[in-house]
Amino acid sequence: MGKEMKIETELNPLTIVKDKFNGIYSMGKFTAWLCDPCDIPNEIYMSEGDSACFWSDRFAPFRNEYEEYLIPSFGVGNTIEEAIANLKFNLKGIF
């Protein structure tokens, strides 16, 4: 796996990952995930092609079968704080 870090916040569980490709595909040097480290998708740790495909799918606008926009349960940023703030913004509509 990559370099995961657990941080105590009101978001639980929260895992921070330093991006393997320095934000080229994820658009941030850090990603914040609302899950345990073992639940983070493996694609972010794989080859450049796999990572590029994973992230391009995540940022494309899409809807579910109920025509609702899906909200990602991750955040990205160039600092850990930015990644957490982005995650909180993405989760605003859920909680």
The per-residue pLDDT for range 33-78, each reduced to its tens digit, is 988 888 888 888 899 999 998 888 776 555 555 555 455 578 999 9
Is pLDDT larger for residue 52 or for residue 5?
52
Nearest Cα residue to 45 out of 90, 4, 87: 4
Query: What residues does each domain of the chain span?
Result: 4-91
Q: How far apart are CA 77 and CA 83, in angstroms?
A: 4
Considering the entire predicted model, what is its pTM? 0.75
Q: What is the DSSP letter of 44?
A: G
Nearest Cα residue to 11 out of 83, 70, 79: 83
Q: What is the pLDDT of residues 13-27, one digit of tens each?
A: 899 999 999 999 999
Q: How far apart are CA 31 and CA 18, in angstroms?
A: 7
Rg (CA), the chain: 13
Q: How far apart are CA 71 and CA 90, in angstroms?
A: 6
